[in-house]
Amino acid sequence: SEKYKCVKEVLSCVSMLSIGASVFYRPKEKEVHADTARMNFARGGGGDHITLLRCYTDWADSDFSPQWCNENFVQIRSIKKARDIREQLVTLCDRVEIDQNLSSPDDDDITIKSITAGFFYNVAKLGKSGEYQTVKQHRTVYIHPSSVLSKDDDLPGWLVYFELAFTSKEFMRQVAPIKPEWLIEIAPHFYQESDVEDSRSKKMPKTIGR
C-alpha cells in the first residue's frame, strides 16, 4: 500500500475484512431497505472490498455516528471492532515509519491492486464452463451468496478473494474483480505469463459461477 500510495484506504479495507462477521444486517421487516443501503456502498464497482471501504469511510466522515449505523443497517459493534483493529494497524505503521495518510481516494483499482499484492495466492479465474477455478490449484470455487457480486448480471473474468468457506460448495468470501496482468507485476515469483495469457479479461454473462 505504501508503494501504491493508498495506505489509508488499505488500512480501512483490511480492518473491515478482519472483523470476521458481516458488518451489515437485514431485519426481516426491512430487508428491502437494508439491501438498498448496502448496494449504495457497492455502486461504482470494486466488489466487496471497495464496498467495505466505502462503508467505513462514510462512517468515519459521519464522526463515527451510531445514528448513521442505524440508518445504513450497519452493525455498530462490528464496525467499532474494525476501528479498533485499524488503530492497532496505524500504530504498527508508525513504528515502521509508514505514512498512514498516504491516500489515493479516487482510484479504487490502486486499492484493489494493493490488496491483491497481499492475497496474490487467493485468485480465481472464470473458465469456459462458467465456473471459477483457483489459478494454481485448479479448484472449483463459487462466489458466496453474501457477496455484492453474487447478483451481478456479468461475472468478472478474474477475482481475488479474502477466504474460502466450505459448506455445500467451496465459496469465495469477500471478492473483488482484478486485472490478470497485475499478477505478473506484483507476484512474478508466483505467476508466469502462461498463467494469464489465456485470460478472460472480458466479463461473461451470468452463469453458474456463483
Q: Residue 208: what pLDDT? A: 55
**pLDDT at position 120 over 60:** yes
Q: Residue 130: what pLDDT? A: 86
Alpha carbons 73 and 34: distance in angstroms, whole number: 6
Q: What is the mean pLDDT of residues 144-166?
A: 91
Alpha carbons 178 and 153: distance in angstroms, whole number: 17
Nearest Cα to Cα of residue 142 among 162, 124, 154? 124
Per-residue confidence at 2, pLDDT binned at 50, 70, 90?
low
Average pLDDT value over all residues in the chain: 89
**pLDDT at position 209 over 80:** no
Residue 52 CB coordination number (10 Å): 28
φ/ψ (deg, to 5) at 134: -65, 145
Give the Å distances, CA to CA, from 166 to 10, 120, 171, 176. 27, 20, 6, 19
- Under DSSP, the state recorded for 206 is S
**pLDDT at position 202 over 70:** no
Segment 26-71, tens digit of pLDDT: 999 999 999 999 999 998 889 999 999 999 999 999 999 999 999 9
For the chain, the domains span 7-95, 119-205
